[in-house]
Amino acid sequence: MLDYALRRVLNIQGIIMIDLQERIGARYEWMSADELADLQSQLLRRSVAQAAKSPYYSAKFKKLGLDPADIQSRDDITKLPLTTKEDLRLSYPTGMLTVDPELVIRMHTSSGTTGKPTAIFYTQEDVNNWAELMARSLHAAGARPTDVFQNMSGYGLFTGGLGLHYGAERLGMWVIPAGAGNTARQIMVIRDFHVTVVHATPSYAMHVAERMVQEGDDPRSLNIKIAALGAEPYTEEMRHKLQDLYGFKAMNSYGLSEMNGPGVAFECEYQDGMHVWEDSYLAEVINPETLKPVGAGEIGELVLTTLRRTAMPIIRYRTRDLTRLIVDECPCGRKHARLARMVGRSDDMLIIRGVNVFPSQLEEVIMRHEWLGGNYVIHLNTKESLDQMTVKVELAKTGFDGSIETLRARRSDLMKQLREQVGFTVNVDVMEPGSLPASEGKAKRVIDEREKVGA
Ligand code: AMP
Ligand code: ZN
């Protein structure tokens, strides 16, 4: 207790702030654009040389006749080969490891549920750097050492648990490793320990809020200030709905296990795109078909290179995530490039009767309807050889005023808007509150039961 009181005093005096700046890597956070460019070139050279020590990249570079010394500046990045998830799978378990296994202190895997996962390794320095990025991200989002932080994300091989945990501890917050699920206990702990900052997937944050509302409770009574929400795609409309429900600021958090995990890109207080920490990652946006860079500010596939990782550097990793770089400067003054909210993953694109649709396009429309809750599932099946889409939505607790007429009119409005959004008829099933499967981690939004051609 005394220690805490002392910390508070020192904090107010600004004395431990110097230490804090060090812990979040503020010297990197506030670099000028030129300094960042120089640093990237220097770190890219080191990263490529390090990667060449792995069985995978040494064979790959040899095959391509590529000498790491050919890479002098970050402008040489396109001389390097792209790396895909398949490459990581083929080199499973340790084909991309560059250090003596004795130096590895941690591993995580991607959250894919089919086939072999991709395994990622960390040295002590890698874990420290990751924690620094995570602490910096949370700090940029407004979290401070005096905050109490509840991590409502699954621990274990998934990076959202330990990743946020180490970062939040490094920032100096009071950390509660709640893990995923057990909603009643989550709510109790948030209340009893005056939690001010949380981390969850947006779908789980929605579930917690709706559970509270159904039980006659008000999520605003929790007094959460900031929520770091990520690990799955969500729309601006979903963010607004969550902010309205809780009264917190919802900050978009992006990362992937192949690039350590969360802490790759994060929103600052302006909530307008996520700063990708360029002292640690080199970001490109390419056309997924031609594999050439897209024009400034155009949507394409995000490609990332680790710049500060020792155990397992990854060169030009094709994330499959579709986004664009925001070209103008952020009012916060940070020079790290910003990524716009992800449209989705290229693998999540649905092709319905020849039309390309992302679940996020439907979510955008659904979230505008206040009579609906925040959960939804997209069902696909085949009827008379044609693809059919049905969206299952839930009524909000106050969404039904007893009049079937009103409900019918609202449903037909929603169907009309969905049709306008995607260009074909989308059926809508309105369900009772709480009847769709609740998400504790990444929500499963699409159930595809279409007949496979030729099956
Ligand atoms: P994992 O394999 O568990 O590391 O999952 C990483 C993937 O989660 C990314 O490649 C994205 O597809 C997705 N993801 C993570 N954060 C976000 C976010 N803020 N917005 C959209 N998608 C995200
Ligand atoms: Zn900013």
Task: Tell me, using a 6 A CB cutoff, whether residue 253 lines ligand 1.
Answer: yes
* Cβ-based neighbours of 446, under 8 Å, separated by 6 or more: 348, 350, 359, 377, 378, 380
Residue 267: is it exposed, middle or buried by C-beta count within 10 angstroms (0-12/13-18/19+)? buried
What is the spatial distance between Cα 351 and Cα 21, in angstroms, rounded to a whole number? Answer: 48
Centroid of ligand 1 to alpha carbon of 12 (angstroms): 37
Alpha carbon separation from 262 to 183, 405, 430 (Å, rounded): 23, 46, 35
Q: What is the pLDDT of residues 116-165, one digit of tens each?
A: 889 999 999 999 999 999 999 999 999 999 999 999 999 999 999 999 99
Distance in Å, CA 142 to ligand 2 centroid? 12
Q: 129-147 burial, b for 16+ CB within 10 Å, e for fewer?
A: bbbbbbbbbbbbbbbbbeb
Q: In 3-state terms, what secondary structure has residue 367?
A: coil
**Which residues are in the CB-under-5-Å shell of ion ligand 2?**
268, 330, 332, 334
Confidence class for position 238, pLDDT limits 50, 70, 90: very high
Quick one: pLDDT at residue 11? 64
pLDDT tens, 373-396? 999 999 999 999 999 999 999 999
Peptide bond into 93 cis (omega under 30): yes
- Cα dihedral sign, 339-344-349-352: negative
* Pocket lining: 342 vs ligand 1, CB cutoff 6 Å: yes
Bridge pairing between strands 226-230 and 249-256: parallel
d(CA 455, CA 452): 5
Task: Determine contact, residues 413/439, Cβ cutoff 8 Å.
Answer: no
Q: How far is CA 154 from the centre of its chain?
A: 14
Contacts of residue 230, defined as CB under 8 A and 6 or more positions apart, other chains included, come to 160, 201, 202, 252, 253, 254, 255, 262
Ligand 1: residue of 134, 155, 239, 256 to mutate (most ligand atoms within 8 A of CB) is 256
Amino acid (one-letter) located at 310: T
pLDDT attached to residue 125: 98
Residue 215 DSSP label = T
Q: Given this model, what pLDDT does residue 219 score?
A: 98
**Smallest CA separation from ligand 1 atom 3, residue:** 111
Mean pLDDT of the chain: 95
- Tell me the mean pLDDT in the region 352-375: 96
Q: Which ligand minimizes its atom distance to the CA of 323?
A: 1
Instruction: Compute the distance from residue 111 Cα to the ligand 1 centre, in Å.
Output: 9
* 402 C-alpha to ligand 1 centroid (Å): 40
The ligand placed nearest to the CA atom of residue 119 is 1
In the structure, what pLDDT confidence band is assigned to residue 452 with cuts at 50, 70 and 90? confident
pLDDT confidence of residue 112:
72
Q: Would you say residue 367 has pLDDT above 60?
A: yes
pTM listed for this prediction = 0.94
Number of Cβ atoms within 10 Å of the Cβ of 181 = 14
- List the residue whose alpha carbon is closest to atom 8 of ligand 1: 231
Give the pLDDT score at 7: 65
How many whole angstroms separate alpha carbon 120 and alpha carbon 108? 5
Which ligand 1 atom is nearest residue 252's CA? Answer: 19
What band does 4 get if pLDDT is binned at 50, 70 and 90?
low
Cα separation, 308 vs 322, whole angstroms: 24
The pLDDT tens digits of the residues spanning 169-194 come to 999 999 999 999 999 999 999 999 99
Rounded distance, CA 253 to CA 255, Å? 7
Whether the predicted pLDDT of 330 surpasses 60: yes
* Confidence category of residue 113, pLDDT binned at 50, 70, 90: low
How far, in Å, CA of 255 to CA of 228, rounded? 12
**Which helix H or strand E contains 240, and what residues bound it?**
helix 236-246
* 186 in Cβ contact with 192 (< 8 Å): no
Residue 151 Cβ < 6 Å to ligand 1: no
AA identity, residue 70: D
Q: Which residue's CA is the closest to the ligand 1 atom numbered 2?
A: 110
* Other CB atoms within 10 A of residue 236 CB: 14
Residue with the smallest CA separation from ligand 1 atom 5 is 256
- Cβ–ligand 1 contact at 231 (below 6 Å): yes
SS3 state of residue 342: coil
DSSP state of 248: S
DSSP secondary-structure letter at 17?
H
Q: Which atom of ligand 1 is nearest to the CA of 321?
A: 12
Residue 235 half-sphere exposure toward CB, CA atoms < 13 A: 16
Top-confidence residue, 7 or 201: 201
Give pLDDT tens digits for 27-82.
999 999 999 999 999 999 999 999 999 999 999 999 999 999 999 999 999 999 99
**Residue found under tokens 């059926």:** 427
Q: Which ligand lies nearest the alpha carbon of 330?
A: 2
Report the sign of the C-alpha dihedral through residues 161, 166, 172, 177, in that order: positive
Cα(428)–Cα(414) distance, rounded to whole angstroms?
8
How remote is the CA of residue 62 from the centroid of ligand 1, in Å? Answer: 32
Ligand nearest to the CA of 321: 1
Residue 301 scores a pLDDT above 70: yes
Is residue 306 within 6 Å of ligand 1 at its C-beta? no
Segment 439-445 shows an average pLDDT of: 93
Q: Which two tokens stand for residue 101?
A: 């296994």
Query: DSSP of 126-185, one letter per residue?
Result: HHHHHHHHHHHHHHHTT--TTSEEEE-S--SSSHHHHHHHHHHHHHT-EEE---S--HHH
Residue 455 has pLDDT above 60, yes or no: no
Residue 159 near ligand 1, beta carbon < 6 Å: yes
Residue of minimum CA distance from atom 23 in ligand 1: 232
- Six-digit token pair at 26? 């503020």
- What is the Å distance from ligand 2's center to 267 Cα? 7
How much is the average pLDDT of 362-379?
97
The CA distance from 56 to 167, in Å, is: 30
The per-residue pLDDT for 2 is 52
Q: How far is the CA of 247 from the centre of ligand 2 (A)?
A: 21
What pLDDT is stored for residue 116 in this prediction? Answer: 82
**Gap between the Cα atoms of 237 and 241, Å rounded:** 6
pLDDT of residue 14: 58
DSSP state of 115: S
Asked whether 256 lines ligand 1 (CB < 6 A), one says yes
CB 144 less than 6 A from any atom of ligand 1: no
Higher pLDDT, 4 or 251: 251
Asked if residue 269 lies in contact with residue 281, where contact means CB atoms within 8 angstroms, the answer is no
Nearest CA to ligand 1 atom 9: 256
